Amino acid sequence: MKTTFPVSGMHCASCAVNIASSLKDVPGVTDAGVNFATGKATVEYDDAKATMAHLRKAVVDAGYSVPMQNHPGMDHASMEHGEHEHDGDLAVARRRALWASALAAPVLVMSVIGPIGPIGPMFQAVLATIVVLVFGASFHRTTLKLLKRGRANMDTLVSLGTIAALGLSWFEFFRDGDLYFEAAAVITAFILLGRWAEAKSRGRASEAMTKLLSLAPKIAHRVVGDTIEEVAIDALKIGDVVIVKPGEKIPLDGKIIQGTTTIDESMVTGESVPAHRVEGDEVIGGTVNIDGALRVSITKTMDQSLLAQIVKMVEDAQTKKAPIEKLADKISGVFVPIVIALSILVLIGMIVFGTSIDAAVIRAVSILVIACPCALGLATPIAILVGTGAGAERGVLVKDGTALEHASRVTRVFFDKTGTLTEGKPVVTDVLSFGSITKEDVLARAADVESLSEHPLAAAIVLAVGDRTNRTNPTNTLVTPGEGISGSVGSADVAVGTESFLRSRGMNLPDLSSAFALRSEGKTVVFVGVNKECIGAIALRDEPRTGAKEAIANLKKMGIAATMVTGDHADAAKAIAKRVGIDDVVAEVKPGEKRNVVMGAQERGEVVAFVGDGINDAPALSQADLGIAMGSGTDIAIEAGHVVVLSGGPSALGAVVDALRLTRVTYAVIRQNLFWAFAYNIIGIPLAMLGFLSPMLAGGAMAFSSVSVVLNALRLRKYGKKVA
């Protein structure tokens, strides 16, 4: 069983590592991960051995808490609960930071200009003690709980450092020696200010998710008999009919049963052009009905809705760890004990070599305070949080951190043709007759056997014939994927498909040069056979998607090669490829062979992305280093893809390019964050060991390091809006 739940009380990324370790110690837990950026834990466990109560106890024993959840789905109560909880945490962080700063300021001033009057030192001592023990109490509480379990985190470093500075100062106070109250007070204030700033920044980082959640309206107007009642959308059931007035949001996914309108779907799909919707069309919950009154039949509950699936997909992506993040977590897990050991060694070493205890303690405190596993552990999850949020806001869903890593190295993109590079709605352009049969009869015979097929070419042929009263339904139909369809229509055996398909059915083929000539024009040609004779051919053409040529050109500018993979005939495929600017074409590929084409490129050392939208694309999407599923495609394709592009309109292929750009930039920010986090510690700790950093300066630098990582990640918010 797998569950995700919020965790409160985390102050830094090393907190997340400790909670994960505590959860893994619970019998029955097979895996656990905690994301500091999102404030959530994800646990896989055997529900016969462990329960939610066991998991909650493990978190509490580690020094943290688990807020109560009203509902695991996307209901308004849980949404508002999460928002209020964040606001509450932020208010507490703000109050602590401001009070600590207000009390630490006079302590710092008196340390610079000297005590004011005879009670000055006592005034300093009292204020510093209040700052450290009252407003910094959370550091010490967490430290004590962790020490009971033999663990340590960032709070341990802060607690040991400030208590050591405070204790030394009180010791010297009674001896009339040098005082260091300002170090203890200012370090605490600096770190609290840093955590307040970090909490505010993390709130901004999750704004995209907040916007998505806020799309769902709270109420709907349900039709009950001859009346209309106002109900919470949680109360809607499948089959309920709701009224949606102009300007209102559509409550849940459904189908229009009355009315015509245009709908703004931009916040869900990223498509900026409003979509025209008529009776029978599907509509998405949370989108805005612009100008027509509608009656909509609900087809999905809240938890099943597209918006809920988007939110879940993005939250899963933010929870799953990228390979590079697992390395950072391992380092964060051993970082604090190493820093404590270094601090103790420096303290003992300086005393042994004759340095005063005061100087040795201050040096040790500087080492404790300058060390910052927070920046290291926060570098990756905060970038993933902002990057996936920015993508979701524009209709690009990144399903896991691994996708970010692979996307940064993609060298070649394979595109499925039909429905991906093209509109996916072919139309009949030519009908050829071989022999005395009329073109109308060729088309009619093909339409009869294709009438029960859901293939796009079949739909186009049936549409070309139009309504007929004398249509005969086929029997004994047999579909050969990528080849054709055959069946019995009355007393005749009819086959429609490739020339090789007809030949395999034992049919005689006449001179097909006139049909092959149509292929050179970019048209797909299928042949129609009745009994043992090929009686004609039908040519169809699927137009390239709007923006396809521009998207391919942009990929080339990024240094990424493009290849078309299709089951269509080579001539037709090359004609489409030429129109969109693709030079490399792999045609006449059976559905099961697309995966082999991807594998071949990988064996040649390419890092491959595959873009597709059909059931037959699922194996290739899964095999590719980066599978990009078009959201207008099938559920199976979307499930198989690592990235999902929700837009199905003219900007869909542009969104594919945007997805690659955004994932590349997100991964670049991850690398930047990790570089600076490592560099900060590699440079800062030795400087503190050598005595070049005072405790106060170390505290300020440590606080700034985490904030800088978050601010660097926040740049992705603007980038996400720009690329879309």
Domain with 14 in it: what CATH number?
3.30.70.100
Task: Determine how many CB atoms are found less than 10 A away from the CB of residue 219.
Answer: 14
Tokens of 432: 């050829």
| 129: Cβ contacts below 8 Å, ≥ 6 apart | 166, 170
Task: Determine how many CB atoms are found less than 10 A away from the CB of residue 557.
Answer: 9
Residue 530 pLDDT > 90: yes
Considering the domain boundaries, does residue 659 fall inside one? no
* Same domain for 492 and 473: yes
pLDDT one-digit tens code per residue, 170-198 = 988 888 777 788 888 888 888 888 778 76
Of 213-217, 233-237, 601-605, the range with the highest mean pLDDT is 601-605
* Same domain for 572 and 530: no
Where is 394: in which H helix or E strand?
none
From 38, 68, 98, the end of a domain falls on 68
Quote the pLDDT of residue 73: 43
Considering the domain boundaries, does residue 521 fall inside one? yes
The more confidently predicted of residues 143 and 266 is 143
Half-sphere exposure of 29 (CA within 13 A, CB side): 22
* Same domain for 555 and 415: yes
Across the range 395-400, mean pLDDT stands at 77
Quote the pLDDT of residue 79: 45
* Same domain for 555 and 530: no
* Same domain for 559 and 413: yes
Domain with 483 in it: what CATH number?
3.40.1110.10
- The span from the CA of 65 to the CA of 46, in Å, is 22
Q: What are phi and psi of 492, to 5 degrees?
A: -105, 145
Considering the domain boundaries, does residue 527 fall inside one? yes
Sheet with 29-35, side-by-side order of all strands? 2-6, 40-45, 29-35
* Same domain for 291 and 238: yes
Quote the pLDDT of residue 527: 95
* Same domain for 296 and 233: yes
Quote the pLDDT of residue 723: 45
* Same domain for 434 and 506: yes
Q: Which amino acid is residue 328, in one-letter code?
A: A
DSSP state letter for 11 = -
* Same domain for 418 and 550: yes
- The span from the CA of 452 to the CA of 440, in Å, is 20
pLDDT one-digit tens code per residue, 310-357 = 777 666 666 666 666 666 667 766 788 888 899 999 999 999 988 888
From 269, 304, 339, the end of a domain falls on 304
Considering the domain boundaries, does residue 334 fall inside one? no
Q: Which amino acid is residue 227, in one-letter code?
A: T
Where would I find the H helices in 302-414? 306-319, 323-352, 357-370, 373-393, 401-407
Considering the domain boundaries, does residue 178 fall inside one? no
Q: Residue 529 — pLDDT band, cuts 50, 70, 90?
A: very high
Considering the domain boundaries, does residue 391 fall inside one? no
* Same domain for 634 and 548: yes
Considering the domain boundaries, does residue 245 fall inside one? yes
Quote the pLDDT of residue 80: 46
Q: Which of 20, 5, 17, 6 is nearest to 86 (CA)?
A: 6
The percentage of the chain sitting over the pLDDT mark of 90, rounded to a whole number, equals 24
| DSSP-derived secondary structure for 164-192 | HHHHHHHHHHHHT----HHHHHHHHHHHH
The more confidently predicted of residues 411 and 77 is 411
Q: Residue 382 — pLDDT band, cuts 50, 70, 90?
A: confident
Quote the pLDDT of residue 635: 57
Quote the pLDDT of residue 322: 62
- Contact in structure between 148 and 204 (CB atoms under 8 Å): no
Across the range 92-102, mean pLDDT stands at 90
* Same domain for 535 and 575: no
CA distances from 15 to 41, 196, 575, 639 (A): 12, 16, 58, 33
Q: Where are the extended beta strands (E) located within 490-595?
A: 492-497, 524-530, 533-541, 561-565, 584-586
Q: Which of 706, 651, 701, 635 is nearest to 677 (CA)?
A: 706
Quote the pLDDT of residue 559: 92
> How open is the CA angle 649-653-656, to the nearest 5 degrees?
120
| 600: Cβ contacts below 8 Å, ≥ 6 apart | none
From 23, 38, 68, the end of a domain falls on 68
* Same domain for 436 and 521: yes
Q: Per the structure, how many domains does the chain have?
A: 4
Domain with 225 in it: what CATH number?
2.70.150.10
Strand-pairing partners, residue 282, are 255
Task: Determine how many CB atoms are found less than 10 A away from the CB of residue 582.
Answer: 24
Considering the domain boundaries, does residue 137 fall inside one? no
Please identify which of the residues 400, 416, 493, 568 carries the catalytic annotation: 416
Task: Determine how many CB atoms are found less than 10 A away from the CB of residue 136.
Answer: 26
Residue 581 pLDDT > 90: yes
Where is 100: in which H helix or E strand?
helix 76-113
Quote the pLDDT of residue 552: 94
Q: Residue 584 — pLDDT band, cuts 50, 70, 90?
A: very high
Half-sphere exposure of 554 (CA within 13 A, CB side): 15
Of 397-411, 501-515, 692-706, the range with the highest mean pLDDT is 501-515
Determine whether 416 is an active site residue: yes
Domain with 572 in it: what CATH number?
3.40.50.1000
pLDDT one-digit tens code per residue, 446-470 = 999 998 887 878 989 998 988 765 6
Q: What are phi and psi of 261, to 5 degrees?
A: -160, 180
Quote the pLDDT of residue 497: 92
User: Which domain covers residue 61, as residue numbers?
Assistant: 2-68
Region of poorest pLDDT, from 389-393, 529-533, 670-674: 389-393
Three-state DSSP at 519 gives helix
Tokens of 668: 């670049």
- Contact in structure between 221 and 260 (CB atoms under 8 Å): no
- The span from the CA of 363 to the CA of 639, in Å, is 55
CA distances from 228 to 234, 536, 638 (A): 17, 57, 37
pLDDT one-digit tens code per residue, 223-262 = 998 899 999 888 899 999 999 999 899 999 999 999 998 8
